[in-house]
Structure 1
Amino acid sequence: MGDQGRVRNITDLARLAGVSPGTVSRALADSQLIAKKTREKIQQLAREHDFRPNVMARNLRIKRAGAIGVLIPLGHETGQHISDPFFMTMLGNLADALTERGHDLLLSRVIPKDPDWLNRVVDSGRVDGVILIGQSDQIDVIEKVARRYLPLVAWGANLPDTIHCTVGSDNRKGGEIATRHLIERGCQNFAFFGDPIAPEIAERLEGCRMALSAANMADKLSILPAHLTAETAHPAISQWLEDTKSIPNGIIAASDVIAMSALRALAEHGVSVPGQVHIIGYDDLPFANQTVPTLSTIKQDLANGASHLVDLLFRRIAGQETDSVVLEPKLVIRQSS
């Protein structure tokens, strides 16, 4: 379709339908003031051209909703809950930052059942903008909405050839730092615990592979696609320990929750940490300093990340284009490595 046939706004759709922009606006709102036949024609044209009215622009002209939608999309990790330690830490930081801006937080845990879940939120008129905590396996959905809806930011991986605005740590570098640390500890065989279907975890795994390749140890890695909840990670790791012929002496966990689950499973199998196995997590959640042994990890500055998410979102609400922010990961060495 050429530029002349593109429908960018209500005026374009009105021209195509041969009616006034006001008629289009009322028809899309399903107003009974517009004849049924005309309403149906206009609504069909809107569907054919994948056009949705910019509810945010209308709200800004009238009155802001005073709420920010904070969504947790769980396309691949449907067992995760809002009570997850990572989510609770991030939500606390976001709530503080949004309260300081005079906005409420409208929280929703989303298990996508169709590709329109994010469209429904941004078109609801209930929120002034949306923050996504994680991208899950929903990159295509997020990208489609980001092309037409500016006030949208996501905590996650900054991926090449994507347009949506993100805040997150340099996951590849974090995975590389974690693996290099274990190499320096004398580890010779390695395992990565985490499911790379999620972009952030895929980047951490890639960083792990980069570090091993640089050390000529690329063939020394095994992968267990453990899920992010302790309820699923622990039994999976326990079964893996029973099935594996040789337990690696270096374990890189894609999250602190997975690392904590590994500590428990290793202890149950009589494997000492860090005596026989060195292990490192990712996130530096508050409990990482309370495990036995205490957990070495890669720190993501979640407080700083939440501050960036809110700052970028409000700049986008004001109509500004913003670049993504990539935070530096930091190695935190404790007893487990």
Structure 2
Amino acid sequence: MGSAIPSVRSISDLARIAGVSVSTVSRALTGKGTLNQSTRDRIRVIAAEHGFQLNVAAQNLRLGRTGAIGILLPLGHERKQALSDPFFSALFGHIAEALAGHGYDLLLSRVVPQGDDWLGEFVRSGRTDGIIMIGQSDQNAAINRVAAHYRPLVVWGAYSPENAYTSVGSDNHAGGAMVARHLVQRGCRRLAWFGHADAPEFAARQAGFLSALPADIRADTAIVPMPITPEGSLAAARAWFAAGNRADGVFAASDIGAISVIAAAREIGLSVPDDIAVAGFDDITLAQLTSPPLTTVRQDIEGGARMLVDLLIRRMVGAQTQSVQFLPQLVVRQSA
């Protein structure tokens, strides 16, 4: 008669049978942390033989963890912004992949701030183990207030030495200056900037653009408020042209804005780039598919997403971190 298979009711039982520590079993079954692959595979085989499945929810409860990271998109300045925006979709996808590599789920939340303590209320809810904020919107004061006492927080957005939090993002000022120099070099003299300057990233792009223009051109450059949404940006571009305004070079603060300018210009018979050169910012997938393909400033979205997750994980274990700015790249295509 064969010997009885030892009963496995807990992670401690499995650790005893495998001859390893409880923490090693936890790393093997959750995929978190570093562990030799052969050890990981051996423990999983033993667990399968005994029909043991780790109750991750119960384990997280005992450890005071949720196993989730909150991805918050604050909509203070533009409440119609959608999570389906191509730039955000790409960034969310890369963040989700990076978090999965650390064993975390993603809790995605589109937040319309109510009151001054909306972020503090989210932190106190205990729904996540950390927060990645996508953009500051006009909520910088609220973010700084929470960052002063809540460590597991990082932000994708514009850098400022006055911020109390760690941020990751492109050098928006440098990107705007790249577009200005390019449009001037190709002979553009009547310029316009389209964007929503209430967002810190957009404000930096505008400032960089204007700073790199010759004084005479800068003095006559039109500043055109433009919502972030596709519908709002197209309406703003149409209204500007309908009022009789014209430019031979346009820098829009986002690719969606630039695509809207191209569409509105064509509706009134203007040729791009012969009559009007148009450039955007982000280099979303649609930028290559427009007609003509869009000249734009490329952000390292994938690298930025990995950096956000890396910095957050480091902050969660008490490490000190510094903000990171990526230098963007001007991608010249047929629109300018």
> 1:12 maps to what in 2?
none
Deviation (angstroms), 1:315: 0.3
Separation in 1, partners of 2:241, 2:217: 22
1:258 aligns with 2:261: no
**Amino acid across the alignment from 1:336:** S
> 2:67 maps to what in 1?
66
Deviation (angstroms), 1:125: 1.6
> 1:117 maps to what in 2?
118
Contact 1:158 1:166 in 2 (8 A): yes
> 2:309 maps to what in 1?
310
Query: Deviation above 4 Å: which 4+ runs of structure 1?
Result: none
Give the RMSD, CA atoms, in angstroms. 1.3
Instruction: Return the TM-score normalized by structure 1.
Output: 0.80
Deviations 1:10-33 (A, max 9, x none): xxxxxxxxxxxxxxxxxxxxxxxx
Structure 1 gap segments, 5+ residues each: 1-58
**Amino acid across the alignment from 1:95:** A
> 1:331 maps to what in 2?
330
Secondary structure in 1 aligned to 2:212? Answer: helix
Structure 2 gap segments, 5+ residues each: 1-59
Contact 2:191 2:217 in 1 (8 A): no
1:143 aligns with 2:144: yes
> 1:284 maps to what in 2?
283
Q: How does 1:1-337 map to 2 (within 5 A)?
A: 62-213=63-214, 216-245=216-245, 247-337=246-336
- Of stretches 283-292 and 111-120 in structure 1, the one that deviates more from structure 2 is 111-120
Contact 1:70 1:107 in 2 (8 A): yes
Deviations 1:245-303 (A, max 9, x none): 4x110100000010111111111111100001011000000110000010000000100
Larger Rg: 2
Separation in 2, partners of 1:248, 1:61: 63
Secondary structure in 2 aligned to 1:123? Answer: helix
Separation in 1, partners of 2:216, 2:310: 43
Separation in 1, partners of 2:290, 2:61: 48
Deviation (angstroms), 1:64: 2.0
Deviation (angstroms), 1:174: 0.3
Secondary structure in 1 aligned to 2:206? Answer: helix
Contact 1:150 1:321 in 2 (8 A): no
Deviations 1:197-240 (A, max 9, x none): 11000000000111114x64221211111011111010111011
**Amino acid across the alignment from 1:73:** P
Pair 1:60–1:327, CA change in 2 (3 A): farther
Pair 1:175–1:61, CA change in 2 (3 A): farther
Separation in 2, partners of 1:234, 1:333: 23
Contact 2:70 2:128 in 1 (8 A): yes
Instruction: Return the TM-score normalized by structure 2.
Output: 0.80
**Amino acid across the alignment from 1:264:** A
> 1:42 maps to what in 2?
none
Separation in 1, partners of 2:146, 2:61: 19
